[in-house]
Structure 1
Amino acid sequence: MPLSLPPVPEPFQLPFHYGALHQVGIDWLVDPGPARELLAKHHPDLSAAAFEDGRALVSLNYQLYFAQYPFGGGITQEIEFSVIAFPTDEGDRLPRLTYAQYAQGWDQTKLLGIARVHVVCDNPFAIRAGQELYAEPKHPGWFEVGLPSLNGPAGETWTVRCRAATIGPDDTLEKSPDPLLDITAELDGLTAVAANSAPITGYGTDAEGRLLAGPMNVYQPYRWYDLAAPEHSGRTRLAVHAPGDGLGHDIRALLADGTPAVGAWTYQSPPVAAHNRPYYLRTSTGTSVT
């Protein structure tokens, strides 16, 4: 019997269209045991993908995106902590891939997806949308960031600090000064590879235990940076400031201090317009221009 599609509750509409997206992800190969335990707890119908030496893959990815609505615009930031996984019942359909092959988009089944374990977001409406539409484990936080930008100094360094927050009356975000985690990716001077990894499958498990898969199309290639060489071990840094909360506890369970990242990937929407430098005009008053 064909499966029915999950409902789309009001006031949401799908697909959700991004007006602009800026994103950085960092990947780590880890001991598969803790990853399997985490999936069994959060997504029992998923299995951790196995890469080099049978290791599992975990990822942190930060997103800054803009959406245009009938009433105006909205800006959202979020960070996702995920295990790369697949539906257990579909394991016989998967290709055997190295991490580098996966990162460049060689899995055309798109069964290898991100099993979200924690999502921290600064937009209460987006938190509700993620929970109700995609069964995302989404909760509030806020961000202080430094990003590569055409409107700033040249460079390819990303810095993201995530802090705690709560949702107050009238769906307002109430910020806390308490830091949750920091990530840094210094990608300056590295050559990126175009990665055809979209659509990216995001997995969720709803309150009834049903497994959901939601693909996200990105209309241009990602840029993937191979960080496996020892000389790149210091290019990314992760600091967990709240090891006792759910996010910090689960990161610590999977990532030992100092575990080097094996890769990073970025996406930045191209500009759609540019307001150029002005110039002086000669006028009939005879004003001189120097």
Structure 2
Amino acid sequence: MPPVTKQPVFPPADPVFKMPFFYSSLSLIWTYYWVDEKLVLPLMKDTRLKPARFTDPESKGKVLISLNFQNYSAFLGMMISTVNEIEFNVHCYPEKHEAEVPVMSLQDYLYGQDATKLIGEMRLHVPADNAVAVQAGVKCFGERKFLTTFDYMVPTPDAPTVETWAYTVYDPTFEGDKSKALYTLTADLSVIPRRVANPSPLTLYSMLPGGPNRPAGGKDMDLIGSRWNMLGVYDMYLGLTPAQQKSFTLTIGKTQHPMAVDLRATLGKGAKVCAVRVFVSPPAAAENRPYYVDLGKKKK
């Protein structure tokens, strides 16, 4: 009987980028959409993944897609690295494990009730504005990650009057031309009730070898998974009414960049936000305004 070749547990470790990678600060808004299955399946070709299944009536014939915007920092000993990044993801599971994957409501999934952690997010496109982050994403995780620019204004303790999340990611082939956006999103969450949850760890899928010039899947590529832990609680916005959905605007650009093409094919058909996840890491310290020290009565 020939010997059985055992698949290794881990891909080869990168000599430069060490894991785990710790986020020193993190701010994010992730918006979720139901999209017709026939529009998404072509993007999953040869990934060995299948769209996650849900019990919600509105999920029939649909796939869950999310746009995950995040800005974060990392203390790297000799420097502080800052990154703005988006993951354009489809929620799915490895087809080999279909019998083990639960079917649940969107609410239960976003609350982290999938104890198997087989349902995860396949990264379709990942724009970022930090060259080192792009290199790490491609080399370690095979992400279809590319360098570009962003504009954004997001709520933060140091900008207490800002209540609306707003960001734009630009087409990197038109550097400096702000009329060439991949997409713009705004979200006013001030009138939508929130709940708290922590579904960590999150499962993320991608393919090796990868990169921005590679397809999402391929028979010559290996499916890999990884886990991401959020050390805190999210604000969750679920069960959005038609009136609440009007608090969001998604404007997709007309460029021919592959990400914009896929956005128009999936979310450009009038998809509405069905859920939102927000996370803002707490400040590490706070410095208050100065005051005059009382030195007694001033001499005339």
Provide the TM-score with structure 1 as the length reference: 0.90
Q: In the alignment, does 2:103 pair up with 1:96?
A: yes
Unaligned runs of 5+ residues in structure 2 are 1-5, 210-219
Match of 2:164 among 157, 172, 179: 157
Q: Does 1:130 align with 2:137?
A: yes
Which residue does 2:227 correspond to in 1? 215
Q: Which has the higher strand share?
A: 1
Q: Is structure 2 residue 25 aligned with structure 1 residue 20?
A: yes
Q: CA deviation at 1:284?
A: 7.0
Q: How does 1:40-79 map to 2 (within 5 A)?
A: 40=45, 44-51=47-54, 52-79=59-86
Q: 1:153 to 1:4 in 2, by over 3 A?
A: closer
The residue matched to 1:224 in structure 2 has which SS?
A: strand
Task: Report SS of the residue matched to 1:153.
Answer: coil
Does the alignment pair 1:141 with 2:148? Answer: yes
Q: Distance in 1 between matches of 2:42 and 2:75?
A: 39
Equivalent residue, structure 1, for 2:199: 197
Q: 1:251-278 CA distances to partner (integer Å, 9 max, x unpaired)?
A: 1111234321101110000011001011
Shift of 1:285: 8.7
Q: Equivalent of 1:256, from 235, 254, 268?
A: 268
Distance of aligned partners of 1:155 and 1:175 in 2 relative to their CA distance in 1, 3 Å threshold: closer
Select between 43-52 and 13-22 the one with higher mean Cα deviation.
Answer: 43-52
2:114 counterpart of 1:112 = no
Structure 1 residue runs of 5 or longer lacking an equivalent are: 167-173
SS at match of 1:262: strand
Q: Distance in 2 between matches of 1:281 and 1:93?
A: 67
Aligned-pair CA distance for 1:216 = 0.6
Name the stretch that deviates more: 70-79 or 236-245.
Answer: 236-245
Give the CA deviation at 1:154: 3.5
1:179 corresponds to 2:181 = yes
Report percent identity of matched pairs. Answer: 30
1:232 aligns with 2:235: no
Relative distance call for 1:287 and 1:37 in structure 2 (3 A) is: farther
Match of 1:11, as an amino acid? V
TM-score (norm 2): 0.88
- Between the aligned partners of 2:115 and 2:237, the Cα distance in structure 1 is 20
SS of 2:40 mapped into structure 1: helix
Q: 1:30 Cα shift?
A: 1.1
Could you say which residue in structure 2 is the equivalent of 1:171?
none
> What letter corresponds to residue 205 of structure 2 in structure 1?
Y
Give distance in 1, aligned partners of 2:136 and 2:36: 33
C-alpha root-mean-square deviation of aligned residues, in Å? 1.8
Which of 2, 5, 8 pairs up with 2:13?
8
